[in-house]
Amino acid sequence: MSGEIAAAFAKAKARGEGALVAYAMAGDPDLARSVDVFAAMVEGGADILEIGVAFSDPIADGPVIQAASERALKAGASLKRVLDEVVPEVRKRCPETPLVVMTYINVVMAMGQEKYAKLAREKGISGTILPDLPPEESTGIRAAFDAAGMDLIPLCAPTTPPARAEAIAKDARGFVYCVSVAGVTGMRAELPADLSSRLELVKRASPVPITAGFGISTAEQARAIGAHADGVVVGSALVRAAHADGPSAARQLCAEIKRGLKR
């Protein structure tokens, strides 16, 4: 598929590190300043950028990202504007960093799956995460993404039965996003005791790297997960830091988490 995502994980591994997939909301606090947040996260050590595209009903997201989505929508963010105005600027400032879009299936279908796949890939997007798209309903959009050379990145939830998790992993593109906790995104003081065994199951089945996300906000949590996964996804903690204290706070948090990912 895209190749850029695999290369980013390989580079992190060669440095003796787990990969950091860092999330921020495009358009929060506005389109131009969100570019500064993405660039700061790369300066802090992010290996892959996850670019959130706002949706009015973000069912997988907790209060922090819900609020960011509302701010982005008020600032005029849309899928087309993110691809036309935010992504090219991030690409200029972070030319070596793979970009992954995270949004919802309604947003993509409103544009048209073939049109989105073609435009996103032309703008430099390596993959897309659609948390409300079940594998059974993904055939058409996956074919469109495959044709464009872009990865449809799958998720495995804590409630995913082992056989289903293995099947998802075996046919994965880009990386497998293992959801750490039941529920929505957001910081957690503790992660589930069975997370390591779930990660190991997916890792054995997957031909691509695996990550864990939802609830991860500290270097200690990243270190614990790094023993069982190829990387972590951090979102709400970075969004909260950037909203409260600007891009420099997101840069600092990325640097702290990367220290936790050193092996």
Residue 114 one-letter amino acid = E
Q: Catalytic residue, from 50, 85, 151, 230: name it.
A: 50
Q: Rounded CA gap, 132 and 119, in Å? A: 21
**136 classed as catalytic:** no
Outline where the chain has alpha helix (H). 4-14, 31-43, 63-74, 79-81, 87-93, 105-111, 113-123, 139-148, 162-170, 195-205, 219-226, 236-245, 247-260
Q: What is the DSSP string of 15-51?
A: TTB-EEEEEEETTSS-HHHHHHHHHHHHHTT-SEEEE
Q: What is the DSSP string of 184-211?
A: SS---SS--TTHHHHHHHHHHH-SS-EE
SS3 149: coil
**17 classed as catalytic:** no
What is the residue whose two structure tokens read 């804590």?
158
Q: Catalytic residue, from 4, 28, 61, 230: name it.
A: 61
Q: Which of the residues are catalytic?
A: 50, 61
